[in-house]
Structures are given as structure tokens and as C-alpha cells.
């Protein structure tokens, strides 16, 4: 995997360093390099970086709602107060979408079919992240510059059809003959131009978005559709869609949390909810989940005392939490990757889909061997990825609380393990909404302390549109929804 060594040059091709905006424009950004100076191989790393950075921007906020992390501060998203998660909106409209559309124009001009396939995968991934967070959003008329300063808002149902269409087109393009002279992809910091991996990513994403529609399409139908796609999806950890950082372009979790904590500027800690899934409190394993030692630095204390969400960095007993980010973790070193889509996720998708396709529900017990094997393989894949010692891994996998047998498998076993493995991935927030934050699926899950009284008793389910956009585009006012209103696929 390539490090991000040409990002700065690539970014300069899209934006100059001068100036900033006081609002997030869903059309063409200012100070852009003229399109005739764009090159696909230099724009691609920018598009990949913006995509990864969108996930970080979302995860820092939404990680508090899905209770991987908890905040030191009050009256924020940790307590379910309104949030626009503006970093996602800004990255999507002024960076990722704009860059991808300029790339698409250039690829079409040159008939660079393989680049077009990659562009469509990235469009689908960015569009999926954004609509899952906000619901209905501008897309088809967005990034049109002065030709349309008030783009129409597209329904999430329409956008979900578009996501699958983009991925279908991508698969066809990635497997087509490319006579453009640009068939060999350059500037790819994720897969180094490996079209097979891009194709497997597209199929895995098709499965992900099919599973999002278990309420709309029915659990069995959505599950069978996802299983069909997964046959051509990820096959190993080597397929993971992730971008690795380096000593110059550092991992943002390292810079924003680890380094800040080292200087006393702690903003977030690991949540009690995550800790209790790993410290034998809820799953009575003989020993702690070994991943807890990779994720969390508790200063050598005998216990991991997670922060109660909404309690400003304190435990449920109002004592200081001790669950800081581990600077030596697979995920939080300066050169660690940010993982967006993983083989472990694909395996848990398969386990869930097999479970549902067999008629499983949130409360039923027992499933098929295929569901059970995928569930166990998902845990193993994640542990192998982050370097857990094989003896510790095998001991955990053989613990009776984890190795309960096919006849005793429950949906909660699959989804809790996915929750642990997809650390700080906002896909967990989507999973929790798909199952209505059910404690049958997520044991021990509770609303945060000191919750926003305006939605007392309910969950944060979507971000609001940025106020600046509401002021500029009247079309958004017509589709504005409060934070506790479900998005389309959740209804």
C-alpha cells in the first residue's frame, strides 16, 4: 500500500492555499485550478484522501452516538444535542464530489474506462456516507457552479438507487477493455491500481447497501441480495479499503486525540459501552477480549473504567474514566491507516445475512453453519489484521461465550462482534439504526446521561443540515428534519 506522499501536490491541483469560506458551498469551490490543467493520476489521491477524511470527520462525532467514544464536554452530540457534523458536508460538497465530477469529465473525454470505474466506486461510497447521515440531500444538481446555486434536494430512496447504479457501472467499467492509454491506474494510494480489488470493493459495497434496506425490502430479500453480491466481494484482509498515513501526513486520530491527550487536552475517551463488550461484563468470557489492550491505554490500572456517555469524561460511578486512546494501537499510531471497508465487515455482513435469510430475528436462537462460520471468521480476520497474538486469539475464539455453537448463535453475537471490529467506523451507527438501537441486538445499550431534553427518551438518528446551507438554499428548508426523525431506510 502506498503512503500519502503525493497528496499535497494533488490537493494543490484542486484548491489553492489562499482564502477560506464562511459557508459550505454545494456548488463549485473558489480558487480552483482550470479543468484543462487537471490530470487523473494527480486528482485520484485527492479524491481518496477526501473520502477517508470524510469518514474521520463523521466518526469523531458519530462515534459518540454509537458509543465507541464519549466526550469530556457537555451540550454536544455526546448528549444528543443538534449537530450538523459539518466536516462531512464540507468534505463531500466542496472537495470529494467536486473532485470526482471533474475527474469524471476528464475520464470521459479521454475514454479512460478504468478510471471511470474507480470514480464511480468513490462516488457511491461518498454519496452513501452523506445520505446515510443526513437523509435527503442535493446530489444530481450539486457541484454545477454558477449554473445552479440552489440545487434541488434528492430523496434518499432515489439516491440509494443511484448508489447501486454507480456500483453496477463501476463493475462493468473495471472489467472492460480500456484502449485509452490510461488503462494502468496511476496515483492510487489505496490499491495501487489493482482493478480486481476495486471490483471486490464495489461488490462488497453493494452488499452493504443492500443490507441497509432490511426494513424497506424485507429482511430475507435484502439478505439474499447481499449474499449474492458477497460471492464476488472481499476475500481477505488484503482487500481492505484503507488509506495508510505516514510521518509527514499523520493519521488524524493520532494528531487530534493521541497527541492532544499527551498535552492534557483530552476531548474523548473510550465509552463504557465498548469497554463492557470487551471486559467480560456483558459477555462472560474467561479473559478480556485481547483487542482491548490494543485499543485502550488505561495507564496500567487493574481495570478499564470506560466513560459513561453524557457524563463529561466520568464513569457511571462519577469517578474519572481511564480509557484513553492507545498511542501504540494498530489504529492510532501516526502512520496507522483509516479503514473504511474491511474483510471483517464483509464476513459479518455474510453472517448477518445468512442468519436473516434463515428466518432469524432479533430474539431467535440458532442459525446455519454458514452464518456461524462467517461470524467466527469475522472475529479472526479482525484480530489477525491488528496483530493480536495467535494464542490469545485462539483462546478467545474457543471461549464458550464466543464459541457457543451453531444452535445457540444469536443476532446479538454477530452484531456485537461487528461493533467491536468496526472500531470508530460510522457504519456501526447505521447498524444500530437498522435495529432501532435494540438491547436485544446491543445488550446493555442505554441513552446517554444528561440527554438533550428536547428528544428525551429517543435517539439521535441523523445530522441536521448546516445553518449556512439552510440560509442559502431554500430547497433544504422544505426537507429539514429534526435529529430524532429516522432516515428513509430506517422507517
> What are the structural domains, with CATH classification, of the chain?
7-213+448-471 (1.25.40.390), 252-325 (no CATH)
223, 352 Cβ separation under 8 angstroms: yes
Q: Examine the pLDDT at 18 and tell me if it is beyond 70.
A: no
pLDDT at 462: 98
pLDDT at 35: 54
CA angle 463, 461, 418 (to 5 degrees): 110
Q: Examine the pLDDT at 19 and tell me if it is beyond 80.
A: no
Mean pLDDT across 236-263:
94
Close Cβ partners of 338 (under 8 Å, ≥ 6 residues apart): 52, 55, 56, 242, 243, 245, 251, 252, 253
Mean pLDDT across 179-194:
97
CA atoms lying within 13 Å on the CB side of residue 454: 11
Work out the mean pLDDT of the chain and round it to a whole number.
Answer: 92
Confidence category of residue 38, pLDDT binned at 50, 70, 90 = low
Q: Examine the pLDDT at 262 and tell me if it is beyond 50.
A: yes
Grid cell locating 134: 443526513
More confident residue, 322 or 8: 322
Q: Examine the pLDDT at 344 and tell me if it is beyond 70.
A: yes
pLDDT at 440: 98
pLDDT at 419: 98
Q: What single DSSP character describes residue 410?
A: B
Mean pLDDT across 63-83:
97
Q: Examine the pLDDT at 15 and tell me if it is beyond 60.
A: no
Amino acid at each position: 500500500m502506498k503512503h500519502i506522499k503525493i497528496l499535497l501536490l494533488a490537493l494543490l491541483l484542486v484548491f489553492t492555499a489562499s482564502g477560506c469560506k464562511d459557508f459550505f458551498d454545494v456548488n463549485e469551490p473558489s480558487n480552483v485550478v482550470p479543468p484543462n490543467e487537471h490530470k487523473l493520476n494527480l486528482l485520484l489521491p485527492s479524491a481518496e484522501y477526501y473520502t477517508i477524511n470524510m469518514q474521520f470527520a463523521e466518526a469523531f462525532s458519530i462515534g459518540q452516538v454509537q458509543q465507541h467514544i464519549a466526550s469530556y464536554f457537555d451540550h454536544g452530540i455526546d448528549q444528543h444535542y443538534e449537530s450538523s457534523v459539518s466536516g462531512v458536508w464540507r468534505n463531500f460538497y466542496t472537495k470529494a464530489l467536486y473532485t470526482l465530477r471533474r475527474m469524471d469529465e476528464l475520464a470521459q473525454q479521454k475514454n479512460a474506462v478504468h478510471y471511470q470505474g474507480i470514480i464511480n466506486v468513490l462516488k457511491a461510497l461518498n454519496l452513501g456516507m452523506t445520505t446515510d447521515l443526513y437523509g435527503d440531500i442535493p446530489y444530481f444538481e450539486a457541484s454545477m457552479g454558477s449554473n445552479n446555486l440552489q440545487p434541488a434536494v434528492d430523496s434518499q430512496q432515489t439516491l440509494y438507487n443511484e448508489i447501486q447504479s454507480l456500483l453496477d457501472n463501476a463493475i462493468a467499467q473495471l472489467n472492460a477493455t480500456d484502449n485509452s492509454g490510461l488503462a494502468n491506474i496511476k496515483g492510487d494510494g489505496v490499491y495501487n491500481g489493482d482493478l480486481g480489488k476495486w471490483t471486490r470493493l464495489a461488490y462488497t459495497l453493494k452488499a452493504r447497501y443492500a443490507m441497509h434496506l432490511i426494513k424497506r425490502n424485507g429482511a430475507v430479500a435484502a439478505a439474499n441480495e447481499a449474499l449474492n453480491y458477497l460471492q464476488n466481494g472481499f476475500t481477505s484482509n488484503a482487500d481492505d479499503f484503507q488509506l495508510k498515513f505516514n510521518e509527514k501526513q499523520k493519521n488524524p486520530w493520532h494528531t487530534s486525540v493521541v497527541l492532544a491527550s499527551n498535552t492534557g487536552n483530552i476531548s474523548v475517551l473510550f465509552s463504557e459501552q465498548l469497554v463492557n463488550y470487551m471486559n467480560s461484563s456483558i459477555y462472560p468470557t474467561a479473559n478480556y477480549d485481547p483487542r482491548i489492550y490494543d485499543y485502550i491505554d488505561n495507564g496500567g490500572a487493574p481495570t478499564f473504567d470506560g466513560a459513561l456517555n453524557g457524563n463529561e469524561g466520568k464513569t457511571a460511578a462519577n469517578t474519572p474514566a481511564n480509557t484513553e486512546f492507545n498511542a501504540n494501537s494498530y489504529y492510532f499510531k501516526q502512520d496507522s491507516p483509516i479503514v473504511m471497508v474491511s474483510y471483517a465487515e464483509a464476513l459479518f455482513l455474510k453472517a448477518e445475512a445468512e442468519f436473516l435469510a434463515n428466518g432469524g430475528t432479533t430474539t431467535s436462537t440458532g442459525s446455519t453453519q454458514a452464518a456461524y462460520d462467517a461470524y467466527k471468521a469475522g472475529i479472526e480476520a479482525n484480530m489477525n489484521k491488528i496483530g493480536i497474538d495467535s494464542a490469545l486469539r485462539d483462546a478467545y475464539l474457543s471461549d464458550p461465550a464466543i464459541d457457543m455453537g451453531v444452535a445457540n448463535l444469536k443476532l446479538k453475537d454477530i452484531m456485537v462482534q461487528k461493533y467491536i471490529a468496526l472500531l470508530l467506523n460510522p457504519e456501526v451507527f447505521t447498524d444500530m439504526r437498522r435495529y432501532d438501537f435494540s438491547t436485544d441486538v446491543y445488550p446493555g445499550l442505554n441513552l446517554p446521561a444528561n440527554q438533550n431534553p428536547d428528544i428525551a427518551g429517543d435517539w439521535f438518528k441523523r445530522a441536521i443540515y448546516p445553518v449556512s446551507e439552510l440560509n442559502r438554499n431554500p430547497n433544504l428548508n422544505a426537507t429539514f428534519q429534526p435529529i430524532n426523525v429516522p432516515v428513509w431506510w430506517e422507517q
